């Protein structure tokens, strides 16, 4: 992988990228659990000494490997400890998340039993990328009570640092879990000395359904972007408890750190990369978390879908109508209206219907939303749900465009001193469209009308389509990169590689256009944003994924 620092004058036009979901690291897991003990005096610590300066009533965590109530999971080399299935927040359906505060009622109790690593969020894994590398549910259960995180740290306290790495998984905002193997958290903790937290957030209809109001132009009854509020809750939870997991690493290992002394690093994969972008650009983030931008030291964006169009306008309306009709919350021939804030105006009974629909109907709604938006625009196959720029959490904003312009926390570019702006690493690799496009097209022989679609994807029709869409000069250029007889390296996501064919060129071109080329453009834009820009590094692999084993 070539690593290059991009500066404002550099013009980069290359092809390559998608997916951002990868890599299985096999480890041995065992788990018990941490005990939360209430602290009545903020100057007091669980086991003596000075405590970080936290408000009264915050809990602290005691670790004692010798007690059955302590969670000490270790890898084979006993270099990393992990704490699995910690509930960081609770949330009513279609409501913002509230971080879980462990207090007196939790004294002496454990977080989860040895076999309980936290439920996965209700997803559409069966609809898109049903692989344990992405969709692993540790308990084998998906539920609405799913706001769990897991933590990894070096076992040896002398090897720990003041760094926290927060991993946001991928899956098109419709699939994925924070416990899937591709998050690679144990190895990251081992190599960096950081505290690594991988988190679940709400998905599909339950995480990203649009805003709804019964009173036009008023604050929505259902605000939308619920998965974004989950990310904020993670940050608030870490503010309360991260210092106790990190241990005594400040002042040369003599005391616990205040949270403000710890540096945060966001690492988002695919959809998680876009979620990280929204955390960084939303004007609500500093209000919801009290987190100074300067405390976010580094941001890694792996295989983000930067070239996908914003999920807004007529397509969003079509998708939302399909979901509501599937849930039987509006009539079959009913249409939705949008108010000035971008929220859908509905009757009170529609709100009640959404809140009371059973989970199996929600799963059907996930499928209906996927089908509706993909029929309207096939490019959304990779990301059928996403944050939507409507009130109140992302008012009139596009996270990707705002990030390109360096608008952190909703402020104009250059509003924050250069030292307070995070550094970026943006990664990608060739053929990343394979995961969705090639895998989907390989299913064609089993679907109605497959012979017609196969004919449209023949070498001859492919060349004609490029000529009609782009003209002779650009078509010639595209055919050099994506020849009619196929692109090497674009095999199905699962199973052995296949010989190059026209479909392999189509899937590679898709991934390059929507993911890789746009990732390079994002890095260039960040470097060229106002007032000196933002430090951005790009790492682009010649083959494989945007995130690979070292």
Least confident residue range of 106-120, 174-188, 432-446? 106-120
Per the DSSP assignment, residues forming a β-bridge with 406 are none
**pLDDT over 90 (residue 512):** no
* Candidate list 270, 508, 529, 539, residue with the active-site label: 270
Residues 6+ apart with CB under 8 A from 392: 211, 219, 220, 223, 284
Rounded Cα distance, 76 and 27, in Å:
7
Residue 546's pLDDT is 44
Rounded Cα distance, 223 and 392, in Å:
6
Rounded Cα distance, 447 and 414, in Å:
52
**Is 35-208+228-299 assigned to CATH 3.40.50.1820?**
yes
3-class state of residue 545 by DSSP: coil
Known catalytic residue at 270: yes
Burial class (CB in 10 A: 0-12, 13-18, 19+), 548: middle
Inter-axis angle of helices 502-511 and 459-481, nearest 10: 50
Rounded Cα distance, 400 and 317, in Å:
21
Q: How far is CA 452 from the centre of its chain?
A: 36
Residue 4's pLDDT is 33
* pLDDT digit string, tens, across residues 61-99: 443 333 322 234 455 556 888 888 888 999 999 999 999
**pLDDT over 70 (residue 290):** yes
- Give the pLDDT band of residue 31 (cuts 50, 70, 90): very low
* pLDDT digit string, tens, across residues 306-338: 988 888 889 999 999 999 999 999 999 999 999
Q: What is the rounded average pLDDT for all residues in the chain? A: 78
Residue 200's pLDDT is 96
High-pLDDT (> 90) share of the chain, %: 39
pTM: 0.83
First to last CA, the chain: 10
- Give the pLDDT band of residue 443 (cuts 50, 70, 90): low
Question: Where in the chain are the domains?
Answer: 35-208+228-299
Residue 452's pLDDT is 59
């Amino acid at each position: 992988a070539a690593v290059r620092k991009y500066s404002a004058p550099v013009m980069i036009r290359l092809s390559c990228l998608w997916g951002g979901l990868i890599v299985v690291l096999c480890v041995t897991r065992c788990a018990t659990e941490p005990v939360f003990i209430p602290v009545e005096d903020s100057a007091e610590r669980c086991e003596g000494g000075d405590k970080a300066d936290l408000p009264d009533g915050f809990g602290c965590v005691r670790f004692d490997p010798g007690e059955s109530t302590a969670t000490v999971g270790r890898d084979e080399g006993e270099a990393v400890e992990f704490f699995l299935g910690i509930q960081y927040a609770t949330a009513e359906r279609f409501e913002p998340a509230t971080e879980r505060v462990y207090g007196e009622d939790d004294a002496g109790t454990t977080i989860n039993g040895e076999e309980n690593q936290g439920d996965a969020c209700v997803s559409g894994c069966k609809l898109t990328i049903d692989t344990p590398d992405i969709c692993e549910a540790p308990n084998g259960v998906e539920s609405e009570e799913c706001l769990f995180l897991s933590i990894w740290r070096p076992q040896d306290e002398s090897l720990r640092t003041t760094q926290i790495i927060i991993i946001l998984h991928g899956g098109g905002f419709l699939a994925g879990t924070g416990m899937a193997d591709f998050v690679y958290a144990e190895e990251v903790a081992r190599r960096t000395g950081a505290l690594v937290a991988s988190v679940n957030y709400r998905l599909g209809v339950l995480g990203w359904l649009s805003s709804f109001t019964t009173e036009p132009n008023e604050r929505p009854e259902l605000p939308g972007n619920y998965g974004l509020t989950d990310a904020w809750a993670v940050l608030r939870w870490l503010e309360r408890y991260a210092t106790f997991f990190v241990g005594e690493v400040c002042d040369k290992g003599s005391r616990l750190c205040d949270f403000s002394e710890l540096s945060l690093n966001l690492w988002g994969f695919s959809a998680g990369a876009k979620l990280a972008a929204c955390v960084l650009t939303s004007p609500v983030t500093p209000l919801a978390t009290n987190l100074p931008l300067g405390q976010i030291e580094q941001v890694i964006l792996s295989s983000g879908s930067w070239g996908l169009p914003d999920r807004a306008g007529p397509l969003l309306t079509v998708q939302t109508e399909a979901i509501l009709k599937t849930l039987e919350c509006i009539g079959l021939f009913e249409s939705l209206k949008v108010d000035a804030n971008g929220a859908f105006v509905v009757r009170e009974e529609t709100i009640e219907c959404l809140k009371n629909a059973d989970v199996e109907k929600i799963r059907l709604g996930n499928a209906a939303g996927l089908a509706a938006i993909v029929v309207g625009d096939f490019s959304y196959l990779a990301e059928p749900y996403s944050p939507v720029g409507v009130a109140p959490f992302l008012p009139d904003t596009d996270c990707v465009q705002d990030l390109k312009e360096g608008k952190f926390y909703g402020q104009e570019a250059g509003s924050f001193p250069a030292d307070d702006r995070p550094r970026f690493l943006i990664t990608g690799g060739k053929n990343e469209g394979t995961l969705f496009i090639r895998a989907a097209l390989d299913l064609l022989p089993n679907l109605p009308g497959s012979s017609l679609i196969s004919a449209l994807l023949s070498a001859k029709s492919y060349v004609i389509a490029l000529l009609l869409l782009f003209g002779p000069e650009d078509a010639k250029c595209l055919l050099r990169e994506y020849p009619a007889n196929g692109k090497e390296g674009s095999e199905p996501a699962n199973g052995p590689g296949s010989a190059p064919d026209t479909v392999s060129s189509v899937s590679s071109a898709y991934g390059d256009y929507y993911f890789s080329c746009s990732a390079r453009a994002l890095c260039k834009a960040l470097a060229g944003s106002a007032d000196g820009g933002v430090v951005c590094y790009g790492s682009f692999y010649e083959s494989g994924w945007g995130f690979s084993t070292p």
